[in-house]
Amino acid sequence: MFLIREKSGVKYYRYDTDKFPFVKLVQECFGLSELSKIHEIVGENLNQELFTNENDDQTSLHQAFYQKLNSGWPEFVKVYRGFIKDYISKLLDTEEIIFQSTPTFRIQFPNNIAVGGNSHDRHDQYGWHKDSDPGYNHPLSEKNFIIPLTNSRDTASVYIEDAPDSDTFTPAAMNVGEVFNFDGGRCKHGNKRNKTTLFFHLTMMKITAKIPS
């Protein structure tokens, strides 16, 4: 595997975009040559209230992606399962792996966040969580892998706790052609309201996987 760098507990790896053309497939799904412009084709106004846990995956773009995936998208399924078998399993050094049947699709629109929160969240960490928190209930043994579909930085990225309970955070440097891994069960992570001008938003897919005990 091609470990590029490790920073603040996050490991970044390179993968073959010709063998695993996630960006191309999602571009074709939305009829776009640049996914950084995906916010321009959304039909609804998403610049007002921040998303909540209940509606952060209910936009017309999310619905279009999941509808295509759930109604049969053999090209994507082949690439996705191949990525798990030929890349993630080797990264974890195992032939047995439990993984999401479909990845989680996230978009961070201008002036909004990708993962919504709840009324009890801290104002400055709205939607931030550990995947093992109540309401998420993921096992600590689970691994998080994020595949950026656009290059994203700063408030267009995801902020990840530098170490469990450190309460210090670093935004991931998200680049197309990379996948990064972090301890989402122990480290809090989330988005800030997207105020960037150079990087409009992140578009990404999240995969959770674990080795059977």
Class of the 2-210 domain? mainly beta
Say if residue 205's pLDDT is above 70.
no
Residue carrying structure tokens 């994203």:
152
CA distance 162 to 103: 25
- Per DSSP bridges, beta strands 159-161 and 169-171 are antiparallel
Query: Angle between the 74-83 and 22-30 helix axes, to the nearest 10 degrees?
Result: 160
pLDDT per position as a tens digit, 139-170? 888 888 999 998 888 888 899 999 999 999 99
pLDDT per position as a tens digit, 10-20? 999 999 999 99
Q: Which amino acid is located at 199 in the chain?
A: F
pLDDT per position as a tens digit, 83-131? 999 999 999 888 888 888 889 899 888 888 888 888 888 888 999 999 8
Q: Are 192 and 157 in contact (CB under 8 A)?
A: no
CA distance 94 to 88: 9
